[in-house]
Chains A and B, each alone.
Chain A
Amino acid sequence: MEIWELGAKNIREQVLRKEISAQEVLDSFLARTAEVEPKIHAYIELIEPQARLDAARVDALIMRGEDPGPLAGLPVALKDNLNLKGVQCTCASRILEGYISPYDATAVKKLRKAGAVFTGKTNCDEFAMGSSTENSAFGVTRNPWDLQRVPGGSSGGSAAAVAAGMAPLSLGSDTGGSIRQPASFTGVCGLKPTYGRVSRYGLVAFGSSLDQIGPFGNSVWDCALALEAIAGEDPRDGTTSKRPVPRYTEGLKRPVKGLVAGVPREMMELVTDPGVRREFERALKIISDLGVTVVETSLPTTEYCLDVYYIIAPSEASSNLARFDGVRYGRRAKARDLDEMYYETRGQGFGIEVQRRIMLGTFALSAGYYDAYYLRAARIRTLVRRDFDKAFAAHDVLLSPTAPMVAFKIGERVDDPLAMYAADVLTVPVNLAGIPALSVPCGFSRPDESGPELPCGLQIMGKPYDEETVLALGYAFEEACSDWFVPKTAAMRKSLSSQEECEVVVRDTI
């Protein structure tokens, strides 16, 4: 077995026992990356020289008998909307061409301190706006389970890198499902923490009241380890919580027997793929066998969440993206005067989906429409929060499929914004409420009779700051499924090696 196949937990332990070095770990993942990256295109940029320095630093600490930190040399891939000092940060947009981060995001800084080795910056939808990673100026990332399909989005590169075995851990950002939905589409675990749990400093802002950084891993344990490293108060982000950060890895074996889980019936009505529904129902059976009481519940505003989200997120985005004007960094278009510079830089620099959302948000905030759109959406958001508060008064967690469908084909939805937005219908309510949610693989559906099986995810939603219960249930569920899930992932990875390389497809509207 190669090192990259061992799993984060084993790798870390072997490094700490000095059985393997951080440099050997990195070599193994880099070799795996060289083999499969030409098929997947998960990365915008690989940073091998810096990664080697990081690994050597970890090894030096271990040699001196010092604590290298809990990650102990584990490679981590970063979504390209997170600032990593000295490395280009593009947000998959042409408008940030040539921008080299002058500082580390807080989550990045904390991971570095925890002993992480950064492998590179992963592909995503431009400024995290999209559900398929097709809206990237650097081309489409492919789903390791079927190269003709999308990995989900917007953090599709981070999800695909972990799924394909190119990195044991990665970070993404989740504004409306951008961690959980790609985790579901690629058969890995993805966690969106409570709003305020992880500092957003150094994450390029999209929807500031919704954005949250979170990890992808091959297991719930891996996500718990990463969350432990990145969570906590940060004076540079006034929305971070002062609450102490629990030892999430130690809480995983908490008993789940006796928990009460609610399944919102309005969410089930939105599931379009019968295979996803079947696998979710099977997951519920496994969860009840664990001693959890599973009952139906209600979140009456569910059907409005997508609309509320697609007013609030673009409104915040239209304001946040005003800073990309060609003045201080990134690309500047040729222009005769200042106004023309703004118009041309933004007209040429942003792709169609980003322009669509800037337009939508600008409209919703404009004089004469603010009350009818933005303010109304913000009021309905209060109703959404009340629904969740009420549901959590009677249940410890809420359960749903992560996405209403499995990974769709490249090109299938990208020209129809409403069809694309529909992929987020089960994840956006969580961001509106600010609660934590985990996507953990729960089964496979085969949408094409002749095509391959595609993974689908179980979404476990928790009370604010109760990541521990969410993770504990995810961990117990995963234990109950590992005998059939893990071999399928191994088989997918093996078959990936024999697949042909794929060309990089850049859409012309990007």
Chain B
Amino acid sequence: MKIDVKHVADLARLKLSEDEMRRLEKDLESILLRMERLKALDVEGVEPTFGAGDVQRLVLDQDRPAPGLPREEVLKLAPSSEGPYVSVPREGTPGDAPQGSE
């Protein structure tokens, strides 16, 4: 089983060093090799289980508006904010000065 680690890391938005990339590639391949055993089981026509216990019913929320956490408390948790908003670096403008909390 060959795995395209660079592609998977991109999907997961993970910056990995070359060393980390090599290590994860080796680890994932040995894990997936072990999982080949699962192919021996016949699951034709078997319904998948996505939940557990007797909770096969999904209870939807009432969706009634109710007060959430106070805005100022939530903003305090954000690494960066401006007025009533959480702020982030702008999208795709390389060359801007680095922003962030550290």
Contact = CB atoms under 8 A, between A and B. Distances in A.
Do A and B assemble together?
A: yes
Which of A301, A373, A433, A434 gathers most chain B CB within 10 Å? A434
Contacts of B15: 343-344, 346-348
A383 B45 CA distance: 11
Interface string A342-383: 111011101010011011101100100000010111111111
A25 to B, nearest CB: 32
Interface string B1-23: 00101001101111110001001
A435 to B, nearest CB: 8
A324 to B, nearest CB: 10
Nearest to B80: A332
B82 interface: no
A273 B43 CA distance: 33
A341 B14 contact: no
Interface string B24-42: 1001101110110111010
B94 A337 contact: yes
15 contacts: A100-B77, A102-B74, A196-B55, A304-B37, A328-B86, A336-B97, A338-B89, A346-B12, A346-B14, A347-B14, A347-B16, A360-B28, A362-B8, A363-B32, A418-B31
Interface in A175-198: 194-197
Given A326-B79, A337-B91, A355-B14, A307 B48 contact: no
A239 interface: yes
B38 A377 contact: yes
A197 B53 CA distance: 9
Nearest to B51: A209
A375 B69 CA distance: 37
A195 B92 contact: no
A355 B90 CA distance: 26
A362 B11 contact: yes
Sort A-B residue pairs by CB-CB distance and give the 7 closest, nearest first.
A434-B52, A347-B15, A378-B48, A434-B53, A332-B79, A238-B59, A195-B53
A239 B14 contact: no
A333 B100 CA distance: 6
B102 A333 contact: yes
Nearest to B69: A102
Interface of A: 99-100, 102-103, 194-197, 209-210, 235, 238-239, 241, 301, 303-304, 307-308, 310-311, 318, 325-344, 346-348, 350, 352, 355-356, 358-360, 362-363, 366, 373, 375-383, 385, 417-418, 431-435, 464-465
Interface in B45-102: 46-55, 58-62, 69, 73-74, 77-80, 86, 88-102
Given A332-B79, A335-B98, A379 B47 contact: yes
Contacts of A209: 50-52
A330 B39 CA distance: 40
A210 B31 CA distance: 21
Q: Looking at chain A's contact residues, is the secondary structure mostly helix, strand, loop, or mixed? A: helix
B31 A310 contact: yes
A333 B48 CA distance: 39
A332 B14 contact: no
Nearest to B95: A336
B99 A380 contact: no
Contacts of B61: 235, 238
Contacts of B46: 379-380, 382-383
A464 B5 CA distance: 40
B52 A195 contact: yes
A195 B55 CA distance: 8
A30 B67 CA distance: 38
A321 to B, nearest CB: 9
Which of B16, B58, B74, B97 gathers most chain A CB within 10 Å? B16
Contacts of A333: 100, 102
Given A334-B100, A352-B20, A356-B24, A99 B77 contact: yes
Contacts of B9: 359
A61 to B, nearest CB: 28
A363 B8 contact: yes
Given A238-B59, A433-B52, A337 B47 contact: no
Contacts of A340: 89
A304 B41 CA distance: 9
B58 A375 contact: no
Contacts of A210: 52
Nearest to B90: A337
A244 B38 CA distance: 39
Contact of A376 (B43, B73, B77, B94): B43
B28 A335 contact: no
